[in-house]
Amino acid sequence: MDMNPADRVRALRDRYGSHDKLARELGTVRQTVIRWEQGSQPSPYYREKLAEIDGGDPDDFLWPDSREPDPLTRLAEAQEEMAELLRQILAVLLR
């Protein structure tokens, strides 16, 4: 039985033990991994990285009927990721 992209990300998260550990391995933040598990489409860059650690094909992380999000949606997601990264940096610096 084939897994859908969200299930594949969940399986990787289970293998790595947490959203944070998988996110670190991929060079992103936990919120992004959570969004992928909820059905959000990983960018081509992250589909490539997910496939590398999964041992599969980048297309395994592509929803068959998906379209790339519009530029404003992508910008909003990038801003969320940057804000989360900045929060993590500040938390480390302010310890």
Write the single-letter amino acid at 94: L
Helix (H) or strand (E) holding 93: helix 71-93
- Please name the fold of domain 5-67: 434 Repressor (Amino-terminal Domain) (1.10.260)
pLDDT tens-digit profile of 32-78?
A: 999 999 989 899 999 999 999 999 899 889 887 665 666 777 788 88
pLDDT tens-digit profile of 11-20?
A: 999 999 999 9
Kindly indicate the confidence band of residue 93, based on its pLDDT and cuts at 50, 70 and 90.
Answer: very high
With 0-12 / 13-18 / 19 or more C-beta atoms within 10 angstroms meaning exposed / middle / buried, residue 13 is: buried
Give Cα 72 distance to the centre of its chain.
18
Domain boundaries, the chain: 5-67
Residue 14 near residue 62, CB atoms below 8 Å: no
